[in-house]
């Protein structure tokens, strides 16, 4: 009898070990392996990866850039100079820029023959940085101009509206 109760206790302990739990909150994970996350934590992480200015998104963008640089994808093959040694600087740069603008940005290399080092990259809107060897300078200039205009005070805005009304009359 005693052996049976000991065996049952050991079996319960083993079952508890086998049940997978979320690494962040400790909730049970359905059908997951040990070290996985629950659906709530996965959703939270997914939102963080989509939110401009969040460290998780910046880290993701930096890792993607370095992965392209290392493994050679089209123009982003391994570079001999200006390589990004770590994604820490690049991630910080992207995060700061996204917080400042409130938009989804991606790293763009100023000189395409060099790598994704922090000094060779700039953060530009994703729309301007898709499928081209370089960002269209005219569109980039317009975007920067719009960004500067958005930092006007209420008095300046009232003056601009008054001028617009006068022109239309």
List pLDDT tens digits, range 126-149.
888 766 566 778 888 887 787 777
Q: Domain residue spans in the chain?
A: 14-50, 51-135, 136-169
Residue 13's Cβ-count burial label (10 Å; 0-12, 13-18, 19+) is exposed
Angle (CA) 74-80-85 rounded to 5° is 95
Task: Count Cβ atoms below 10 Å from residue 79 Cβ, excluding itself.
Answer: 20
pTM of full prediction above 0.85: no
pLDDT tens digits for 89-105? Answer: 889 999 999 998 889 99
> Rounded to whole angstroms, how far apart are CA atoms 76 and 152?
39
Q: Once rounded to an integer, what is the mean pLDDT over residues 28-44? A: 78
């Amino acid at each position: 009898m005693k052996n049976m109760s000991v065996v049952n206790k050991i079996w319960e302990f083993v079952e508890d070990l086998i049940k997978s739990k979320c690494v962040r909150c400790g909730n049970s994970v359905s059908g997951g392996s040990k070290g996985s996350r629950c659906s709530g934590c996965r959703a939270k992480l997914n939102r963080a990866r989509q939110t401009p200015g969040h460290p998780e998104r910046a880290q993701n963008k930096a890792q993607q850039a370095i992965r392209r640089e290392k493994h050679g994808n089209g123009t982003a093959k391994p570079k001999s100079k200006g390589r990004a040694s770590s994604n820490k600087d690049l991630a910080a740069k992207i995060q700061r820029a996204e917080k400042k603008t409130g938009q989804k940005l991606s790293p763009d290399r100023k000189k395409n023959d060099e790598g994704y080092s922090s000094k060779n990259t700039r953060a530009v809107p994703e729309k301007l940085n898709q499928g081209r060897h370089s960002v269209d300078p005219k569109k980039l200039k317009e975007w920067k101009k719009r960004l500067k205009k958005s930092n006007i005070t209420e008095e300046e805005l009232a003056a601009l509206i008054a001028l617009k009304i006068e022109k239309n009359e």
